[in-house]
Amino acid sequence: MLYAFLHALLFGTETVILSGDKDIEDQFYKMQWLLDTHYRSMLFAEKWAKGEIDLPSQSLDIAGGRSRAFQGNDAIVVTGRSANLHEVLPERFTPSILYNWLVTGPAENLRMYPISLCLEQEMRRVLWMKAKTGGSNTDAMNGRNCHVWQKPLSFPGGCVVFAQDILCTGGGVVVPVLDWQHALMTDERISHIHVEDGEGMSITSE
């Protein structure tokens, strides 16, 4: 599934995932959600750094539950963003169509459940950015990452957080804690990741 996304982004050709596994359909949704969320985060950070966005901001106290994901004393929260952040998207983009076809049922009565997705090839910049920074979606904020979606942390809707991430290791990869949370659960009622000394993680249900 991941290779299908990469193929669509890198080459711009129509790409089809054909599977009888319903888990692939779930992974397809989560992957597009993650890619889209971090793409808008990257674009927001770039426009903020250039002074192209004028919204209220204030220093962020990361004490309490918020310290599960953020560290440092230079975090800020920006309020008043639009619900979908359409204003940060480029007016022109290069489309790339990706399909997920779920085929299920007995051979004599197969059913197909298609999902289609129009990616912007420009989204591949997020992949290069994360590789360049070691996990962040931006390099425009002096070491702080940009988060336009902070659930399950206790932030009001419609805000953006610039903060240094707490990192953890899973599967040999160092990733921001909040990224792990979103990759596993996105916006569902979820468990929380507990990090010990930045070296590992465990998942506890709530």
Over the stretch 110-154, which tens digit does the pLDDT of each residue have? 888 999 999 999 999 999 999 999 899 999 999 999 999 998 888
Over the stretch 1-28, which tens digit does the pLDDT of each residue have? 889 999 999 998 899 999 998 889 888 9
Residue 45: closest CA among 146, 135, 164, 165: 146
pLDDT at position 190: 44
What 3-state class would DSSP assign to 131? helix
Backbone angles phi, psi at 8, to 5 degrees: -65, -40
Residue 189 has pLDDT above 50, yes or no: no
Over residues 90-110, the mean pLDDT reads 90
Lowest mean pLDDT: which of 14-23, 81-90, 131-140, 164-173?
164-173
